[in-house]
Chain A
Amino acid sequence: MIRTILKSSEYRRRFKQGAKAVLCVMLVFLLTSCSALISINESGYDSIPSELPTPDVETPLAPVGDVTEGEIYRANIYSISSDGLTLAPSIRVMWLTGADSLSERLSEEALRTPTLPGGAPIAPANSALAYVEDGNGIATISIRPGEHMSEGKSQAFLASAMASTLLEIEEISGVNVLVSGRAMEYMSLPIGTVTRENASLEKMIQDASDDFSHVSSGSQTEWRLVRNVTLYYPSPDGKYVVPEIKRLQFDTSDYASSIVRALSSRGDDEFLLPGVPLASDALTEKCRYVQENGENILEIRFSGDIVNAIDESAVERWQFLASVVLSTTTFCPNTDGVRVFVGKSMVTSVPDKGGEYMSFANGVIRRNDFAGRIAVPVKVYFENIAGKLSYEVKAVPLSEADSVRTRLRLLMEGPDTYGFVRTVPEGILPSDILGTGVSGSIASVNLSSEAYRLAQELTKEEEKMFVYSIVNTLTEIDGINGVRIYIDGRETDTLAGNIWLRGVLLPNPGLSAD
């Protein structure tokens, strides 16, 4: 029966139809498969792991108080070689504590007995370091000589050796060497601020010789001297003066007049104000020296217009005096003090901050009168209108130039620039900084739990701005490359759920508008 069915024409017809249908389906399948080959396999996201592996690293303890770790420092200390003709470095390994200032330690080491066999000290015996002003890349050191220091080459040796030693510090670009608070000269010409270009003894002597030949041979109209000069400019907050190195050309030996004229312009850093805010020539006559009680006193006479000019500007009167006195005494050789005349009146006092007055005995204004008022500009980051971080330059005393806490305090004080927004949440105070620390190139900040609580209200963007304003600000400190943030002595995952706080945070240059 099956054979009959198989042989029947109806069966065969249906079989053929079925076979055709199957072939059509196979053809469609084949073409579809080929088309599928053309499309690129687009994978979706692989499943995101819930956790990344925790690294096996040791987390340092959170700082309490202000802590700076000590470190071993290898320094090149320059002293006079055995032939007495050149300077040679010798390596000294020293332990720097957190309280030490590197420039101070190096200066002290340089004044010590040299370790070079047969070498000579760069300063007279029993010389000591009087003070060091180190900020904004400029180190001004004053040496108290143990004995009288002869003029001439010995001063060149001293200036070169100290400058070479201090210029080994990467952050320092210029060095002023004072002896008993006086600027030095060589071959009757001021040495000025020593930079890396002219720190070597040979260069210094050669330049001086060339300059001396030029000035002594030429007529008065051809007299010309070019020197690096440290000028001091008023900070806009009225609290400090900030040093900057300028290269000045002197057409006369009246260095002070040239310096005063240079101070009528702003500093290279636009945040700094002109020290002498008078467009026209503020001086009524040439500056001159008078001898009083064995001291060389430089007299500078200003026109009476200077008072109005000062009052109309953002410059405080004492800042004006500080600019003029510090700038001239740092450069002009053998200057013990400055007497300033405004019109016919001699300045004997000047209003100070807080309503007090600074008084100057006999009208002689000295460098030391402005001790503690020399500052460095620091960048503090705030949020601008565009939602990026922009810095505001603020002046910070030299002693606090590298202070983490000071920078944080400035952040918390908020910006002065219009359009800038404070990034630290309201309510967080300097007292919420439980501790700061510096270890190597990493600054640590230990905030209180109250600060953490207040930060929970922040949005994602606000959290980012808060954290990176801290990081970007603190990494502006020389030698600081990263920041650790602790909360109440411990590391936490995030501040407010977004920015990860474990490990070291690096600055975000792309977030900065500058």
Chain B
Amino acid sequence: MSAIISLTRIKSIFRSLRWQFVIAYLLIIIIAFTIVTASVIQLVGEYLFNQRVREEERIAAEIAQSIEEDMLQLNAVAMYEKALQVSMENDARVLVLNEYGVVQVDSQSLMNGHRLAILQTANVLSGSESDYGYYQAELSDRLLMTNTASAGTMTGIYARAIHDDDRLTGVLVYVSKAHDIYEGLMDVTKQISLILIAVFAVVGLFSVLIVRLFTHPVKELSAGIQQMSKGDFTARVRVRGKNEFSDLARAFNSMSSRMEALDRSRNQFVSNASHELKTPLSTMKILLQTILYQEVYDPEISREFLTDIDKEIDRLSAVISDLLTLVSIDSGEMRIKAAPLSLRDLIRDNVKRLIPLARERGIELEYLRYENIDVMGDMMKLNQVFYNLIDNAIKYTPRGGSVKVELIRQGKTAVAKVSDNGIGIPAEDQIHIFDRFYRVDKARSRETGGTGLGLSIVKQIVLLHSGSISVDSEENVGSAFTVELPIYQKQTGGKSA
């Protein structure tokens, strides 16, 4: 069981990103190091080997030349002394063969009189000037025993012709221990292996630390996301550095903030909506209870109260309708039925509709300037926009005031402005004027039948038409609402940018 647990734990450890990174680093290092090491050793070995071959060929050639005269004179003592000296100086073995390949001089005096039938001798006796080969010395191989070589060592054999003018008089055989190259390379290999192990350990340690730098932000982000998934939108991650992780952290924090704001806004909205819904219901309840529980039925009072209840129902209905509209907009379900329409005519129609109301309130409503501008839009929705704006202007302008409506072209944008000389909007309220359920004067808006959602709806519709809306107001001076919409270009067949 513990073994299974350990295995599971081990597996889980190695599934982690950190360990995968570490293993990847180590693998890369090992592979690269091994390739480089092998290549270096191969190159170094070849270089050392070739250098050794050249050097020993030179030595063999020198010896062969120095004993040419002695060979001609058959001066064995002189040749033996030279062979002995060279063998001592170079830890090698020197043999001199006659034209039959018979050893005449041997610095170790072991093979005199024996015929040295090896490839190198045969090649030189057959006409080559020189030849060489490398062999693994066996215990029984007396030829390949140099002064200090032992069994199993690598031995080089160099054969060189000895001449008397053009006539071959013998062969000089130079036997050297080459195992030092092999041992040297093995030493280098061992040292490199030790270095590799050390590098492995250091890289492993550093990679664990470095990878932590990468995985830690991911872990933090993951924790933040988990926190957020539980509904806690206050989660933030620390932004470190200026890289992709910091961008990701910033994006997450931004998303978190927006979600927190949205959540707060949603809560606020729900709170406001429930309040707006509850208020008329409460009023209706009181009125109905008053009717129901009056001791003496009074038809006049009953009619008045029922009329009030009717009004509350209308308000409730209006609020619910507006809410549904906003929900529709928010959820993306609302689709504008865009078609080219004359904005000038649309605004004029709404002005006409509201002139009676304005006259009733003693307000002058004028459609001052209007250019013939077409836009691509939903006629019903845009009617709602301009009806709402003009209606608001009339509502918030006292008797004797005026409301002016203008439509002009600015470049590729149609600019519609509804301005009044009404009560104006305080500066601190202007930024919230398009918020849902926001009322500057709650009492007044209730009187006028407002739901607090009108300007929110207006703004959403304008935004759906790729336009913008802004307000410029001064308390007790008046307000001006400006709607900008892209002009419809008939030639290109689409909206202008």
Residues in chain A within 8 A of chain B (CB atoms): 27, 30-31, 33-38, 40, 42-55, 57, 441-442, 464, 467-468, 475, 481-482, 498-500, 502-511
Contacts and interface: CB of A to CB of B under 8 A. Distances in A.
Contacts of B14: none
A53 B81 CA distance: 29
B104 interface: yes
B139 interface: no
Given A49-B117, A499-B114, A502-B100, A31 B34 contact: yes
A184 to B, nearest CB: 37
A45 B140 CA distance: 13
Given A37-B38, A481-B73, A504 B98 contact: yes
A44 B135 CA distance: 6
B100 A48 contact: no
Contacts of B181: 40
B454 to A, nearest CB: 54
A508 to B, nearest CB: 4
A55 B169 CA distance: 10
A442 B125 contact: no
B108 A510 contact: yes
B136 A44 contact: yes
B200 to A, nearest CB: 13
Interface of B: 27, 30-31, 34-35, 37-39, 41-42, 45, 49, 73-77, 79-81, 84, 98-102, 104-109, 112-115, 117-119, 121-122, 125-126, 133-136, 154, 168, 181-182, 185, 189
Contact of A40 (B45, B73, B75): B45
Contacts of B189: 38
Given A44-B136, A510-B107, A53 B125 contact: yes
B74 A57 contact: no
A468 to B, nearest CB: 7
Q: In the complex, which of the residues A48, A50, A53, A481 has the most CB atoms of chain B within 10 Å of its own CB atom?
A: A53
A508 B112 contact: yes
A31 B32 CA distance: 10
A502 B104 CA distance: 12
B117 A48 contact: yes
A31 B36 CA distance: 11
**Which A-B residue pairs are the 5 nearest by beta carbons?**
A510-B109, A481-B74, A34-B38, A499-B113, A506-B76
A511 B109 contact: yes
Given A43-B133, A510-B107, 16 more contacts: A27-B27, A35-B38, A40-B154, A46-B118, A46-B133, A49-B117, A49-B118, A51-B117, A52-B117, A55-B100, A464-B112, A481-B74, A498-B113, A499-B113, A503-B100, A510-B112
17 contacts: A37-B41, A38-B38, A40-B185, A42-B136, A42-B154, A44-B136, A48-B119, A51-B117, A52-B125, A464-B113, A498-B114, A500-B102, A503-B102, A506-B74, A506-B105, A510-B106, A510-B108
Max chain A Cβ within 10 angstroms of own Cβ: one of B80, B102, B122: B102
Contacts of B185: 38, 40
A511 B80 CA distance: 11
Contacts of B34: 30-31, 34-35
A327 B154 CA distance: 63
A469 B331 CA distance: 120
A49 B131 CA distance: 15
A253 B76 CA distance: 47
Contact of B77 (A34, A51, A509): A509
B98 A503 contact: yes
A16 B39 CA distance: 32
Contact of B31 (A30, A49, A500): A30
A475 B80 CA distance: 15
A500 B74 contact: no
- The CB with the most chain A CB atoms within 10 A, among B31, B49, B108, B109, is that of B109
Nearest to B99: A55
A46 B119 contact: yes
Nearest to B27: A27
Contacts of A475: 76
A400 B250 CA distance: 117
B115 A52 contact: yes
B74 A482 contact: yes
A40 B48 CA distance: 12
Contacts of A481: 73-76
A324 to B, nearest CB: 37
Contacts of A502: 100, 102
A382 to B, nearest CB: 17
B194 to A, nearest CB: 14
A508 B109 contact: yes
A168 to B, nearest CB: 19
A50 B115 CA distance: 11
A467 B103 CA distance: 14
A121 B88 CA distance: 56
Most chain B beta-carbon contacts within 10 A, residue among A34, A481, A506: A506
Nearest to B83: A510
A504 B74 contact: yes
A101 B100 CA distance: 34
A53 B189 CA distance: 43
